[in-house]
Amino acid sequence: MLSDGASRLVDLFALATWRQTMDLLRDDGPAALIEAVRHAEHSDPHGERRPRGKPFDDATAAYCLP
């Protein structure tokens, strides 16, 4: 489960696919996904390369093992 802030890596920044995102969550956990989102946000703080409504968004991710 991802908040819109956590899903930015895929649906706003297009820096990963959903499969890559799920693999990241499975292999490295939610903190790694949020770190990747934060890195993308901080690398373009004014939204020049990746236009968006707000430069930073809250991000929540949960991954449950089957």
Domain ranges of the chain: 1-52+59-66
Counted residue by residue, the chain has a size of 66
Distances (CA, A) of 17 to 7, 36, 46: 10, 13, 24
* Amino acid in the structure at residue 34: I
- pLDDT for 66: 72
pLDDT of residue 34: 97
Tokens for 42, please give them: 């901080």
Indicate yes or no: pTM above 0.85: yes
The per-residue pLDDT for 41 is: 96
Q: What does the pLDDT look like over 13-66, one tens digit per residue?
A: 999 999 999 999 999 999 999 999 999 999 999 999 988 989 999 999 999 987
As a whole number of angstroms, the distance between CA 56 and CA 53 comes to 9
Pair 63, 26: CB distance under 8 Å? yes
Selection from 30, 26, 27 nearest residue 9 by Cα: 30
